Amino acid sequence: MRSVRRALTLLSLAAAVLATSSTAGATPLLPANCSCGSLYATGDGYVGETVTTGAVVGYVAKGTIWVRKHANSTFHVTSYGKRVWVSSLKAWKFTGTSMYVKASGGWWVKAQGTGVSMSSTAQGSATLEGEGDYYLNAARRAAHWPSSEPRHLQLRG
């Protein structure tokens, strides 16, 4: 689990750098005027995010990843065992073990199961349910998310 956290930390740093920087002629992933917040959450249960603009990298040891993309967005899920389009939710449902997800632009992502880790820089909202720890806007100490009631967070800079 430690190596997964270390890999996600490195991936989130890379996503943050890519999201906010640009090279000559390249378009950054996030607009320069994005009032984005950052979230890193890890635990068992679910982490759901609905954002208008941003980037996310996530991992689920065993469970489900749901993705609904909005206009001008991209996403990619790897290592899933099964993929199904759920028309009533207008979302993709991926199930399996050791799955990774990354998305940029506007999207809804819900990672649910055991060994959930999500790192994002985005503008929108997040919901955490289950049990784990999270860092909001690069906080120095982790906050604990409860096991009984969902925790709702705003992602803004």
Q: Full-prediction pTM beyond 0.85?
A: no
Q: For residues 149 and 130, what is the distance between their CA atoms, to the nearest angstrom?
A: 8
The three-class DSSP label of residue 10 is helix
pLDDT tens for residues 102-149?
999 999 999 999 999 999 999 999 999 999 999 999 888 899 987 778
Q: For residues 121 and 54, what is the distance between their CA atoms, to the nearest angstrom?
A: 6
Q: For residues 81 and 79, what is the distance between their CA atoms, to the nearest angstrom?
A: 7
Identity of the amino acid at 19:
A
**pLDDT at site 14:** 43
Q: Report whether pLDDT(18) > 70.
A: no
pLDDT tens for residues 32-86?
566 899 999 999 999 999 999 999 999 999 999 999 998 889 999 999 999 999 9
The three-class DSSP label of residue 120 is strand
